[in-house]
């Protein structure tokens, strides 16, 4: 997909929209106009920030997502899972149980989206010390990157030229499986997220990009699936809290400015 054909995850349900203009009023890039009584999003101006979705009183704006059954198009099915997914469950549920259920649902591998934060931290520090462009703008929020490109093009060179943790995790898992001799065409990588901005960015990647994902799964949807499986199990669980190695401290704290040396 070329740059002027950016994918957008937010769509307008025309049968629900009644042209109230709430979304238009909150859009930071003036991407929305009301045409014939229906909200119309300009693809070239939208940065997928999700403000319009939050403002709509009748839920006429929704986040497009891939069908879960798409994972079964592949022999090797990888879920790239952010720590926040595990954090949604009660502490009485062990992480291993959550991962087991994800595998029962069809994934063959579950990889933390923050698996490579050490590498990214080192790369950020190295870039910080080697570039004259200051201040630096993180490249990790796709909406911020698009906002800079659209509204503040003079700052484009201040954006750090680094992949986000999720993108880097996808590169990592693809390389790992390749080293293990798994044929790339058999691997489907699926990113789990609640974020429209990340969905749009990941789905805009060309298929030859090593951080290309084959699909994006809405976190709410997957959480409900896992939750129902766990809930329907006979519950002789102890009430003790389980440790959460998946939520390792670096995975949660990596984005704090103090870790970046400021
Ligand atoms: S997602 Fe953000 S930028 Fe895009 S139309 Fe909605 S409010 Fe505007
Ligand atoms: S806020 Fe919702 S109903 Fe109102 S114009 Fe926007 S999409 Fe339509």
Predicted confidence (pLDDT) per residue in 129-182, tens digit: 888 877 899 888 889 998 998 889 999 999 998 888 878 889 999 999 999 999
State whether the beta carbon of 120 lies less than 6 angstroms from ligand 2: no
Look at residue 124 and tell me whether its pLDDT is greater than 90.
no
Look at residue 262 and tell me whether its pLDDT is greater than 50.
no
d(CA 96, CA 26): 42
For 41-85, the pLDDT digits (tens) are 998 899 989 999 999 999 999 888 889 999 999 999 999 998 889
Count up the domains in the chain and report the number.
Answer: 2
State whether the beta carbon of 31 lies less than 6 angstroms from ligand 2: no
Residues 52 and 179 in one domain: no
Ligand 2 centroid–CA 105 distance in Å is: 36
Q: What angle do CA 73, 10, 136 make, to 5 degrees?
A: 100
Instruction: Report the pLDDT value the prediction gives residue 222, as an integer from 0 to 100.
Output: 95
Domain that holds residue 74: 68-117+163-260
Instruction: Report the pLDDT value the prediction gives residue 242, as an integer from 0 to 100.
Output: 57
**Looking at ligand 2, which atom is closest to the CA of residue 22?**
1
Residues 87 and 208 in one domain: yes
Ligand 1 centroid–CA 22 distance in Å is: 12
Residues 168 and 46 in one domain: no
Nearest CA to ligand 1 atom 2: 49
Residues 74 and 17 in one domain: no
Nearest CA to ligand 2 atom 8: 17
Residues 220 and 174 in one domain: yes
193 in a domain, yes or no? yes
96 in a domain, yes or no? yes
Q: Which long-range contacts (CB under 8 A, 24 or more apart) does 120-125 make?
A: 120/162, 120/163, 120/165, 120/168, 120/254, 121/250, 121/254, 121/259, 121/260, 123/162, 124/160, 124/162, 124/260, 125/260, 125/261
Instruction: Report the pLDDT value the prediction gives residue 80, as an integer from 0 to 100.
Output: 92
Note whether 124 and 160 are within 8 A (CB).
yes
135 in a domain, yes or no? no
Instruction: Report the pLDDT value the prediction gives residue 118, as an integer from 0 to 100.
Output: 81
Domain harbouring 239, CATH code: 3.40.50.1780
At which of 40, 63, 86 does a domain end?
63
Residues 26 and 98 in one domain: no
Ligand nearest the Cα atom of residue 150:
1
State whether the beta carbon of 12 lies less than 6 angstroms from ligand 2: yes
Q: Look at 3-7, 51-55, 252-256 and tell me which has the smallest mean pLDDT.
A: 252-256
Which of 22, 34, 41 gets mutated to test ligand 1 (max ligand atoms within 8 A of its CB)?
41
Residues 212 and 110 in one domain: yes
d(CA 99, CA 107): 9
35 in a domain, yes or no? yes
Residues 99 and 167 in one domain: yes
Report the DSSP pairing between strands 38-41 and 32-35. antiparallel
The CA distances from residue 52 to 13, 26, 200, in Å, are 13, 6, 15
15 in a domain, yes or no? yes
Provide the whole-model pTM. 0.80
At which of 38, 63, 88 does a domain end?
63
Residues 178 and 191 in one domain: yes
Residues 249 and 231 in one domain: yes
H/E stretch holding 62: strand 61-63
SS3 content of the chain, % helix, strand, coil (to 5): 45, 15, 40
171 in a domain, yes or no? yes
25 in a domain, yes or no? yes
Write down the H helix ranges in the chain. Answer: 22-26, 51-55, 83-86, 95-105, 117-130, 142-151, 165-179, 196-203, 219-231, 249-253
Nearest CA to ligand 2 atom 3: 17
State whether the beta carbon of 60 lies less than 6 angstroms from ligand 2: yes
pLDDT grade for 235, boundaries at 50, 70 and 90? low
255 in a domain, yes or no? yes
């Amino acid at each position: 997909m070329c740059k002027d054909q950016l994918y957008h995850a937010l769509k307008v349900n025309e049968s629900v929209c009644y042209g109230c203009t709430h979304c238009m009023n909150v859009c930071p890039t003036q991407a929305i106009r009301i045409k014939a009584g229906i909200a119309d999003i300009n693809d070239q101006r939208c940065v997928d920030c999700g403000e319009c979705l939050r403002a709509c009183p009748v839920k006429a704006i929704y986040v497009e997502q891939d069908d879960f059954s798409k994972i079964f198009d592949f022999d090797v099915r990888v879920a790239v899972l952010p720590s926040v997914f595990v954090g949604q469950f009660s502490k009485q549920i062990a992480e291993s149980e959550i991962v087991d259920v994800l595998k029962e649902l069809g994934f063959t591998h579950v990889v933390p989206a923050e698996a490579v934060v050490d590498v990214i931290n080192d790369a950020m520090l190295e870039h910080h010390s080697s570039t004259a462009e200051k201040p630096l703008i993180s490249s990790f929020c796709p909406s911020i990157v698009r906002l800079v490109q659209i509204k503040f093009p003079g700052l484009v060179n201040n954006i750090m030229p680094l992949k986000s943790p999720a993108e880097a995790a996808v590169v990592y898992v693809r390389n790992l499986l390749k080293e293990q001799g798994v044929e790339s065409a058999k691997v489907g990588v699926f990113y789990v997220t609640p974020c429209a901005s990340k969905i749009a960015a990941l789905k805009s990647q060309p298929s030859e990009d090593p951080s290309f994902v084959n699909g994006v799964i809405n976190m709410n949807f997957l959480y409900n699936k896992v939750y129902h499986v766990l809930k329907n199990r006979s519950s002789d669980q102890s009430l003790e809290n389980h440790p959460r190695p998946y939520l390792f401290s670096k995975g949660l704290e990596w984005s704090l400015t103090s870790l970046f040396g400021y």
